[in-house]
Amino acid sequence: MAHLFNRNVLLGVSGGIAAYKSAELVRQLQERGASVRVIMTRGAREFITPLTLQALSGNPVHTELLDTGAEQGMGHIELARWADLLLIAPATADLIARLSAGRADDLLTTAALATPAPLMLAPAMNQQMWKDPATIANISQLSERGVHLVGPAAGQQACGDVGPGRMEAPPVIAEAAARLFENGLLAGTRIIITAGPTREALDPVRYLSNHSSGKMGYALAQAAVDAGATTTLVSGPVSLTPPEHVRCLRVESAGEMLEKCLELVPECDIFIACAAVADYRPAAIEQQKIKKGPEQVTLHLVRNSDIVAVVAAGDNSPFTVGFAAETNDVLNYARDKMQRKGLDMIVANDVSDPSIGFNSDHNEATVLWRDGEQVLARSSKSTIARQIVELIAVANKGGMCV
């Protein structure tokens, strides 16, 4: 069974008799590890109550486009950024037509336009409606835009007809959703990713560190596994659980991280330096706890080795990706860092914005490489991670990122 660990699935339920199956679909998605939130159209609420899906998902069900209980009343934007996948099941003929036309006249269609996450539809309608030329044209147009379809199945329908148009079984839909993230772009590739902060000891009790949570690096590890890579995570001290199928090596200091990376790099193809490594460490570590003394204390620091620069400068260095977490003049600092350190690619983001900075579940970034750049709109860190991995996969194979 394919998994959806650490994935946020936004489930859209539109108004068809198959809406009752959405309850089982929530369970199927959760069994694969997904966090699930639900949007219901007005028609869907005629077939199944929001309370049912709220109880099963463990989250409030969203129904209105302008939500006074949401941040700034813009619930559709919050949900769009949260989602790693928008899955609409059932997707009625009417909803498919509105999506094809680019309509945004309710919460579900607006979220579909506002999210950078992939969109998957599980159609459900009468067999003649499914065969109608208008529906065929709408499905064709959505497919050309990259929308994914699962089903429909054929068989006995609620109206008494027999034929294609039944919504696929929830286990089949959940499996298709999980398989969507296993793209094989990096099959056979060996990747090392650094994540989290480092801690530079002052004495047995105190240390110097930073606010990195490790969420971006761990999301990249998940995306790398989904792309088929053999993935090793060199992690500083964080409270996160490593993704399944990822080899995780724990370190504390910048020196330990460098030592571990240099040990592993000869056997890797891609190196992603996402960790927030301390630039300096104390010149000396006191063996006993430093006691409170004068009003002012001078602390002597020495510079740590720059891990990503050391890796990039090595013989037969891997494809090397750095991160530029800046608070001002972000792109210029990132371009300078990429050139100065000899990197193949760099991901620049503004950590002065608390909504996308350290500890946030969201991010937005600009990816730079030698021949271009690409802006990644604000979204969940899982979605941003998947987009970064896709760019790396193209660039590493000598292709052009577009």
pLDDT tens per residue, range 218-259 = 999 999 998 889 999 999 999 999 988 899 999 999 999 999
165 and 238 both lie in a single domain = no
Host domain of residue 212: 190-396
3-state DSSP assignment of residue 110: helix
Q: What is the pLDDT of residues 195-209, one digit of tens each?
A: 999 999 998 989 999
Q: What is the mean pLDDT of residues 313-333?
A: 88
Question: Taking a C-beta distance cutoff of 8 angstroms, is the pair 389, 15 a contact?
Answer: no
Q: What percent of the chain has pLDDT over 70?
A: 93
Phi-psi region of 373 (alpha: psi -120 to 50; beta: other; left: phi over 0): beta
- H helices within 145-284, ranges in order? 170-179, 215-226, 254-264
Q: What is the CATH number of the domain that holds 26?
A: 3.40.50.1950
219 and 106 both lie in a single domain = no
229 and 137 both lie in a single domain = no
83 and 53 both lie in a single domain = yes
280 and 174 both lie in a single domain = no
Instruction: Specify the DSSP element, H or E, that contains 348.
Output: strand 345-350
Residue 184 in domain? no
Q: Spell out where 187-317 has E strands.
A: 190-195, 200-201, 207-208, 230-235, 246-250, 270-273, 280-282, 301-303
200 and 286 both lie in a single domain = yes
Residue 401 in domain? no
175 and 259 both lie in a single domain = no
What pTM was computed for the model? Answer: 0.70
Q: What is the pLDDT of residues 262-286, one digit of tens each?
A: 999 998 999 999 999 999 999 999 8
Q: Give the residue numbers annotated as catalytic, written as ranges.
A: 159
- H helices within 102-202, ranges in order? 107-114, 127-131, 133-144, 170-179
Structure-token pair, residue 227: 């792309």
CA pair distance 218, 45, nearest whole angstrom: 37
Residue 68 pLDDT exceeds 60: no
For the chain, the domain total comes to 2
Residue 224 in domain? yes
pLDDT at 72: 47
Dihedral (CA of 397, 399, 400, 402) sign: negative
> Which of 154, 179, 204 marks a domain boundary?
179
Q: How confident is the model at residue 69 (pLDDT cuts 50, 70, 90)?
A: low
169 and 43 both lie in a single domain = yes
Residue 313 in domain? yes
213 and 152 both lie in a single domain = no
| Strand pairing report for 246-250 and 230-235 | parallel
Residue 350 in domain? yes
